[in-house]
């Protein structure tokens, strides 16, 4: 895969994963799905990075779906389709298990594979131009289990059925009403607002954020009571350096300077 299609840039404590195929509305191909876990691993291992933003390289699209050309090449056979789906599932899983906060910044098209990526992110911000759709019903294929679960968790079963059965497109306002996205910004301010929020997260206790992410995931997976691992996670936070700093900063009426990763 050419680096120009998918790459990461780092600035301060924020990493940005750019999707850069504007001539194809950022359509994802096999090589891009296959490369994504490695790019995420690089950001995961970099302790300086505290937040990851996923976005298109410009305002023409987030991801407009799959690369149609591969339907008649790689995906024309059962073996090729299995290979493609395995890459998609692994990329989605890598994003779902990523320990740091993730924000999908959507401008215009977020269709099919774009929704797979966005739904796997912690937060989803859209410009007023956002267009959302999950379209396997237009192709005669079935959406992945993990993608469907993420959709149901966000919008509920009835709205998930609406989207999957019809394959219709939702504008940003309807997507927000459905619970598919978390915030809508104007086209002029979405970049500034997204990165301002990402910067805010870099000032918070990373132990708290990562712990919250773990517990919320357990809840979404059906947990109804605290496990021994979660209990240890919670109680262990009170012995942390960041907890001592947080309390001290509160008493001194200043911003805390958290140091743990």
> pLDDT band at residue 2, thresholds of 50, 70 and 90?
very low
The more confident residue out of 1 and 243 is 243
CB atoms inside a 10 Å sphere around CB 113:
26
pLDDT at residue 1 in the model: 44
pLDDT at residue 79 in the model: 85
Answer whether residue 192 shows pLDDT above 80: yes
Nearest CA among 63, 61, 84 for reference residue 72? 84
CATH of 205-251, one of 1.10.3470, 1.10.12, 1.10.101, 1.10.10: 1.10.12
Query: 192: which residues sit within 8 A by CB, 6+ positions away?
Result: none
Give, to the nearest 10 degrees, the angle between helix 206-220 and helix 228-237: 160
> pLDDT band at residue 68, thresholds of 50, 70 and 90?
confident
Please state, in angstroms and rounded to a whole number, the distance separating the CA atoms of residues 110 and 222.
Answer: 28
Please state, in angstroms and rounded to a whole number, the distance separating the CA atoms of residues 194 and 55.
Answer: 10
Contact (CB, 8 A) for 15 and 46: yes
CB atoms inside a 10 Å sphere around CB 101:
22
For 6, phi then psi, to 5°, come to -155, 120
Contact (CB, 8 A) for 164 and 137: yes
Coil/strand/helix, residue 11: strand
> pLDDT band at residue 75, thresholds of 50, 70 and 90?
confident
Architecture of domain 3-201: Alpha-Beta Complex (3.90)
DSSP H helical ranges for the chain: 30-45, 78-97, 113-119, 145-155, 157-166, 172-178, 190-202, 206-220, 228-237, 241-251
Any idea which of 19-33, 65-79, 100-114, 171-185 has the lowest mean pLDDT? 65-79
Coil/strand/helix, residue 30: helix
**Which DSSP string do the residues of 192-211 spell out, in sequence order?**
HHHHHHHHHHHTS-HHHHHH
pTM: 0.94
Answer whether residue 3 shows pLDDT above 80: no
Contact (CB, 8 A) for 26 and 32: no
Contact (CB, 8 A) for 6 and 39: yes
Q: What is the mean pLDDT of the chain?
A: 94
Virtual torsion, Cα 67, 23, 4, 27, nearest 10 deg: -20
Q: Where in the chain are the domains?
A: 3-201, 205-251
Please state, in angstroms and rounded to a whole number, the distance separating the CA atoms of residues 72 and 80.
Answer: 10
> pLDDT band at residue 74, thresholds of 50, 70 and 90?
confident
């Amino acid at each position: 895969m050419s680096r120009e299609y998918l790459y990461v840039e780092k600035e301060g404590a924020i990493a940005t994963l750019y999707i850069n195929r504007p001539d194809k509305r950022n359509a994802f191909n096999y090589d891009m799905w296959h490369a994504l876990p490695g790019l995420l691993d690089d950001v995961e291992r970099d302790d300086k990075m505290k937040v990851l933003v996923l976005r298109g390289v410009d305002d023409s699209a987030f991801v407009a779906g799959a690369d149609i050309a591969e339907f008649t090449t790689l995906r024309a056979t059962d073996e090729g389709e299995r290979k493609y789906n395995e890459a998609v599932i692994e990329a989605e899983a890598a994003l779902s298990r990523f320990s740091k906060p993730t924000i999908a910044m959507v401008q215009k098209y977020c269709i099919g594979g774009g929704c797979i990526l966005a739904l796997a992110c912690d937060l989803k911000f859209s410009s007023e131009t956002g267009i959302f759709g999950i379209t396997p019903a237009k192709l005669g294929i079935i959406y992945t289990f993990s993608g469907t679960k993420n959709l149901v968790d966000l919008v509920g079963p009835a709205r998930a059925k609406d989207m999957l059965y019809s394959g219709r497109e939702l504008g940003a306002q309807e997507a927000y009403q459905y619970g598919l996205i978390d915030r809508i910004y104007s086209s002029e301010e979405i970049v500034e607002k997204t990165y301002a929020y990402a910067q805010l997260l870099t000032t918070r206790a990373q132990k708290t954020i990562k712990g919250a992410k773990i517990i919320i995931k357990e809840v979404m997976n059906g947990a109804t009571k605290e496990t021994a691992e979660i209990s240890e996670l919670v109680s262990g936070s009170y012995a942390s350096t960041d907890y001592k700093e947080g309390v001290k900063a509160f008493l001194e009426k200043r911003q805390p300077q958290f140091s743990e990763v």
